[in-house]
Structure 1
Amino acid sequence: MTWPEITVKDVSLRITKGTTPTTLGEAFTDQGVRFIKAEALNGDSNLDANGFAFIDEKTHELLRRSILQSEDVLITIAGAKTGKCGFVREEHLPANTNQAVAIVRIDKQKAVPRFVYYLFKRKEMFSFIQSLSAQAAQPNLNLTRLGQIHISLPPSNQQRQITSILSAYDDLIENNRRRMQLLEQAARLLYKEWFVRFRFPGHEHVKIKDAVPEGWQKKKIEDICQTIGGGTPSTSNPAYWDSGDVTWVIPSDVTRNDCLPLIDSEKKITESGIKSSSARMVPPETILMTSRASVGFFALMDKEVCTNQGFINIVPHEAWLRMYLLHNLMYQVEEIRLHAGGATYKEISKGRFRQMAIIVPSKLLSQEFDDIAFRIFQQVRVLKKQQLNLMEARDLLLPRLMNGEIAV
C-alpha cells in the first residue's frame, strides 16, 4: 500500500530545540521543573527518568522557546544516539529540554502526533538519521535537515487506528514497569523498617546493645561474601567473540535496566574468550555491582554469567544473606561511592570494598527477610520477562503497520 509522502516540516507547527541553563548563567536544581536530556530518549514511549535533571521556574521561563507541551515528539539530534526519539505525555509536564534534543510539535489538523512518533521509532528511520549525522565531524542533525525528512502518511482515521494498536502495547509495557517499581519499593521499605528502624518481628523483646539489636554482629564485607572481578577478552581476536554464547555483562546492561532482575546481556563471548581474560563465571543470583565510572548499580541474573572489569561480583557465603546483603548495599550506596577514587573516573577497588563495615542480623531474621524479598524479586523477574516479550511483539508489529503491510 502506498501512502502520500510529505516532509516532517509539512505537518509541524514548530521544529526547535532547547538550551543548556548554564549558558544563561543559570544552574540545575535538585527538584522543580523536569529538564529532559538526550539520555531520557531511549526510543520508548515512556521517557527514562534517569535522563531527567531539574531547573527552577525562573530558568524554565527564561528557556521559553523550549517549554514542552503534551504530545511533542522529541528527537536526539547530537551525539552517538542521534535519532533516538521520545514522546511527551501530560505526566511529564512541566518540562524543558536542551540543545541536543529537537522538539517537533505536530499540527493535529494534519497528522496524529503519536503516529509521527512511531514513524521515528522505526529502526529504518533511526538508521537513516544515523547515516545523515555520520556525515558531520561530530554526530548531529540540524533542524532544517530534520524538517526535510520525508514520511508517508495514511488518512487520519488509519493513523489513529495504528496508533491505538501500538499504544495498547506501550500502555501494557508501562503498566508492567510501574508494577515492578512498586514491588521493588515494597522490598526496600521492608528492609528499612526491619534493619534501619529496628521494627522487625519481635523487636519489642530484643535489647539494643552498642546501637544494634542483641545478637546482631558487626563484621566486614569480606567476612560474609566472596568478591569476584571480571575481564574483557581482546577485541582484536574474533575467536573470542564470533558466535559466542556466554553471557558477558557490561555496566551499561545494568545502568540501562529498569529493575534488579537482568534478563540478558547485550554482548556474548566464547569459552576461549573467558579463558584468555580475567573474566570468571559466577553462579546464578550473584549480586552484580558496577564498580567503575557508574558506581553502585545492581543486578542479579538467573544463570551463570561473567562480567567485564567494571564490576565487583558478590557471592554470599550463606544463601540466606543474599537479599539482606543486596538491600544493605543499595541502602548505603552513597557510602560505597564515597570510597571510590580515581582522577579519570571513579572506581571502588575490591580491596577497599571488602573492608567496609556491615551489620549482620540474626540468621532467623535474615532468612525471613530473604524469603519475603526473594518472592518479591521473583515477581519482578516475571514482570520483566513479560515486558520484554511485549516490547518484542510491538517492535515486530510496528514496521508492518507503519508501511501498510498489515491493513487496519
Structure 2
Amino acid sequence: MVHVPDIASQQRIASILSAYDDLIENNRRRIQLLEEAARLLYREWFIHLRFPGHEHAAINDGVPEGWEKKTLGDVAPLNYGKALKQDDRVSGPFPVYGSSGIVGTHVKALVPGPTIIVGRKGNVGSVYRSSEDCHPIDTVYYIDSSRCSFHLYYALQHMSFINTDVAVPGLNRNFAHSRSILIPEQKIYRLFEDTVAPMHLQIDLLCKENVALTQARDLLLPRLMNGEIAV
C-alpha cells in the first residue's frame, strides 16, 4: 500500500522542497554572474585590448609590445578522451564529460584536474573547465593540467573551431592546433589569473553546494512522502 500524505502535509512538503530548489536556483544565478564577469574581463583585456596600462603600450600589427601570437598546438596540445559507455560507468565522485558537458559520474578518473575539455564530436568546439579529477570520453579532447590556465579557458571560448573544408561534423585536431591564440606579456597574464582565480573558487564552492543540496533534497523527498519524517 502506497502512503499518500493529506493535502495539508503535501503543501508543507512542497514548501520544504521549494526552499531547497530556491537555494539551488539562487546559486545557479550567482555562478552565471561570476562566469559572465570573468568572460567580460577577458574580452575587455584581450579582445578589445583595454588591459591595465594599455594607454602606454605600443601596438605592432595589432599585437601589444611584449605579447605574441602562437598556435594552440604550441600552447596546449589537445589529447583524446577515452570511451566510457554508459553501461560501463559506476556512479562515483568523478564527473564524466562529453561534448555537452557533464554526462554522468564514475568511480575512476582519467585525468587530474584542473583540465579543460573541448568538444570533438556532437557539440563541436564546446569548452568546459573541470577543477577536479574527471573522465573526458571519446567525443571530446582534453588539455593536460600543466597547460591549463584561466586565460586559456576563456581564449578557447573565443576561438573559431569551425572547419568549412570538411563535410563530416567534428573537430579535426590538426585544424584545432592551427588556431591562433594571443599570449600576453607575463605581468598582464599573472594579473588576469590572480583576478579571475577567486571568481572560479567561488564558482567551485557554489557548484559543490548545489550538489549537496540536490542530494539532500532527493534523500528527503521519499522520507517526507512516506511519513518517516513528520511535517
Q: Which residue of 1 aligns with 2:47?
A: 196
Given candidates 222, 225, 228, the residue that maps to 1:399 is 222
Given candidates 81, 94, 99, the residue that maps to 1:230 is 81
- CA offsets 1:348-396 (integer angstroms, 9 cap, x no match): 0211110111111111111111111122111100000001101111111
Structure-to-structure mapping, 1:5-404, within 5 angstroms:
152=4, 154-155=6-7, 157-232=8-83, 241=88, 247=94, 249-251=96-98, 254=101, 265-268=104-107, 281-315=110-144, 322-332=149-159, 335-338=160-163, 341-343=166-168, 346-404=169-227
Summarize the Cα distance change of 1:375–1:341 in structure 2 as closer, same or farther, 3 Å threshold: farther
Code of the aligned partner of 1:192: R
Give the C-alpha shift of residue 402 in structure 1: 2.3
Give the C-alpha shift of residue 2 in structure 1: 7.1
Number of aligned residue pairs: 230
Code of the aligned partner of 2:173: K
Code of the aligned partner of 1:169: Y
Code of the aligned partner of 1:403: N
- CA offsets 1:287-307 (integer angstroms, 9 cap, x no match): 111211112323233344342
Give the C-alpha shift of residue 243 in structure 1: 6.2
Find the structure with the greater CA-based Rg. Answer: 1
- Aligned with 2:161: secondary structure? helix
Tell me the TM-score normalized by structure 2: 0.86
The answer as to whether partners of 1:340 and 1:347 remain within 8 angstroms in 2 is no
Higher relative contact order (CA closer than 8 Å, sequence separation 6+): 2
Summarize the Cα distance change of 1:173–1:329 in structure 2 as closer, same or farther, 3 Å threshold: same
Give the C-alpha shift of residue 177 in structure 1: 0.5
Summarize the Cα distance change of 1:227–1:200 in structure 2 as closer, same or farther, 3 Å threshold: same
Tell me the TM-score normalized by structure 1: 0.51
The answer as to whether partners of 2:100 and 2:119 remain within 8 angstroms in 1 is no
Cα distance in 2 for residues equivalent to 1:249 and 1:242 = 9
Summarize the Cα distance change of 1:171–1:231 in structure 2 as closer, same or farther, 3 Å threshold: same
Code of the aligned partner of 2:98: P
Code of the aligned partner of 1:336: F
Structure 1, unaligned runs of 5 or more = 4-151, 257-264, 271-280
Code of the aligned partner of 1:352: F
Query: Percent identity, aligned pairs only?
Result: 37
- CA offsets 1:259-297 (integer angstroms, 9 cap, x no match): xxxxxx424469xxxxxxxxxx43321111121111232
- Aligned with 1:218: secondary structure? strand
Structure 2, unaligned runs of 5 or more = none
The answer as to whether partners of 1:221 and 1:357 remain within 8 angstroms in 2 is yes
Code of the aligned partner of 1:369: F
- Aligned with 1:336: secondary structure? coil
Q: Aligned-residue CA RMSD in angstroms?
A: 2.9
Code of the aligned partner of 2:67: W
Give the C-alpha shift of residue 255 in structure 1: 5.7
Give the C-alpha shift of residue 403 in structure 1: 2.9
